[in-house]
Homo-oligomer: A and B are copies of this chain.
Amino acid sequence: MTQRPRAAVVVTGSELVRGERTDRNGPFLAAEALRHGLEPARITIVGDNPAELETVLRESLEADACLVSGGLGPTHDDRTVELLARATGLELVVDEALEAEIEAISRSVAERLRRPYADFAPGVRKQATRPVPAASIGLAGTAPGLVLRAPTGCVVVVLPGPPAELRRLWPNAVASEPMQELLARTRPPGRRVLRLFGLSESAVARALEEAGGDGDGVEATICARDFELHVDLVVEPGAEERADVLEGELVERLERWLFARDERGVEEHVLSLARARGLKLATAESCTGGLVAARLTSIPGSSDVFVGAVVAYADAVKAAELDVPQELLAEHGAVSAEVAEAMAEGARRRLGADLAVSVTGIAGPGGGTEEKPVGLVHIHASGPDGSRARRLDIPGEREQIRARATVTVLHLLRQILEDDTNP
């Protein structure tokens, strides 16, 4: 059992607690807490119902740190500060220096919108109201982030809801005196990451068991994400040797499926491998509709490796833009190993790439037959040192079939680049 100080994350937002939008602040704050040596104990998402929010804050104040996001706006629905004062029993005051700071911003907004400042004044006063003691750690628009120590001893950080603003003010919260005092008691854990592709979660669990399991200052989490498996080791200071042994045992057992020991995604590894060999890449996509190209181009600097793609959804486009022979389409159908090969060859030649990969399949829900059911996908990579093909039968629905085909194509590219680099 861990001895780390506990952090409770509280996220406010009616649209979040109703499931209309997915929260991004909770995971960010929890991961940051862990990185700084706190144990993220819980993330609670709550709406703007005052009784509910006050209860959640009260419960969260029992942790060593309470990280709150949202509810700092100028309107009466934004009640975080008021309810925090109630939950902590702290008095509220208008901070005059803060009020002057917020007023300056609001006056220029009023001017731009050609509205009288008087419309803004009550909101400014509300946003300049803070518990005693509490210190502003900077403004997001007109909303101040706050840090304070509650009478329970809990360090409370209050941050604005918009994710970009929250991330911008977070370092100021970490640097604040109450947080620094808390973090002086922590010993940030180390992290090891193993990223695997092509095996089952239970196979990884068995390897972990055979490797001796976690414990003794090393916590292992196996996480299936985006059709890959990630093993995260959280290593307490002092347990590094134990972690080395466990990591070594795991690598020995799982080497065949291991593709990374860092946080970079498979598309980054593909681009690095191609860049190192001076190879240009292209894709020819049917059922993935551009998802492979979109993943590759999500990485800054991809343009020095990736030249382009043809998304050939219609057969006429496969023929015209990728030189897939009409006879091949007629004889084998668009979803076939033969057409996948012709698409890859065509992309390589037409787009001037050294290595091209193709994908053609039936994403469903319609279009499946007994012979070629929904989920059948052919992929083909064609490069300077030869080619490689795969037939996939992917379970699930359209979104899952497309996503899994995309990941598998990226891993096929990675494998061909790795093997050709170390034959």
Chain A residues in the interface with B (C-beta under 8 A): 1, 14-22, 24, 26-32, 34, 40-47, 49, 52, 56, 59, 75, 164, 205, 221, 223, 225, 230, 232, 280, 283, 285, 287-294, 296-298, 300-303, 306-314, 316-317, 320-321, 350-352, 363-367, 396, 398-400, 402
Residues in B with CB closer than 8 Å to A75 are 205
User: How far is it, in angstroms, between the C-alpha of A232 and the C-alpha of B364 when the chains are bound?
Assistant: 31
Interface of A is mostly: mixed
Contact with A350, one of B26, B43, B321 (Cβ below 8 angstroms): B321
Contact with A297, one of B1, B44, B45, B290 (Cβ below 8 angstroms): B290
User: How far is it, in angstroms, between the C-alpha of A407 and the C-alpha of B77 when the chains are bound?
Assistant: 30
Q: How far is the CB of A70 from chain B (nearest CB, A)?
A: 13
Q: How far is the CB of A67 from chain B (nearest CB, A)?
A: 11
Interchain CB contact under 8 A, B317 and A20:
no
Residues in B with CB closer than 8 Å to A56 are 42
Residues in B with CB closer than 8 Å to A164 are 396, 400
Q: Show 10 A/B contacts (Cβ-Cβ < 8 Å), sorted by A.
A: A15-B221, A19-B28, A19-B43, A20-B27, A290-B309, A297-B311, A307-B317, A308-B321, A310-B311, A321-B351
Number of copies: 2
Residues in B with CB closer than 8 Å to A399 are 298
Residues in B with CB closer than 8 Å to A40 are 17-19, 47
Interchain CB contact under 8 A, A17 and B45:
no
Contact with A314, one of B283, B308, B313, B396 (Cβ below 8 angstroms): B308
Q: How far is the CB of A386 from chain B (nearest CB, A)?
A: 24
Interchain CB contact under 8 A, B352 and A221:
no
Known: A288-B294, A298-B289, A364-B300. A22 touches B27 (CB 8 A): yes
Interchain CB contact under 8 A, B20 and A31:
yes
User: How far is it, in angstroms, between the C-alpha of A47 and the C-alpha of B367 when the chains are bound?
Assistant: 42
Q: For the A-B complex with A164-B400, A306-B313, A314-B352 known, give 8 more contacts whose Cβ atoms are closer than 8 Å.
A: A18-B30, A164-B396, A297-B363, A298-B398, A298-B399, A303-B313, A308-B312, A321-B351
* Complex: chain B residue closest to A316, CB-CB: B352
Contact with A311, one of B15, B20, B311 (Cβ below 8 angstroms): B311
* Complex: chain B residue closest to A285, CB-CB: B290
Interchain CB contact under 8 A, B352 and A320:
yes
Known: A17-B43, A52-B42, A396-B164. A307 touches B298 (CB 8 A): no
Interchain CB contact under 8 A, A350 and B290:
no
Interchain CB contact under 8 A, A232 and B15:
yes
Interchain CB contact under 8 A, B30 and A232:
no
User: How far is it, in angstroms, between the C-alpha of A21 and the C-alpha of B21 when the chains are bound?
Assistant: 16
Interchain CB contact under 8 A, B20 and A22:
no
**In the complex, the 5 A-B pairs of residues with the closest C-beta atoms, listed nearest first:** A290-B290, A289-B297, A19-B31, A19-B27, A19-B30
* Complex: chain B residue closest to A162, CB-CB: B224
Residues in B with CB closer than 8 Å to A351 are 314, 317, 320-321
User: How far is it, in angstroms, between the C-alpha of A164 and the C-alpha of B352 when the chains are bound?
Assistant: 41
Contact with A45, one of B42, B312, B316, B365 (Cβ below 8 angstroms): B42
Interchain CB contact under 8 A, A17 and B30:
yes
Known: A17-B42, A223-B15. A290 touches B294 (CB 8 A): yes
Interchain CB contact under 8 A, A294 and B294:
yes
Highest count of chain B CB atoms <10 Å: which of A164, A289, A291: A289
User: How far is it, in angstroms, between the C-alpha of A178 and the C-alpha of B292 when the chains are bound?
Assistant: 46
Interchain CB contact under 8 A, A225 and B21:
yes
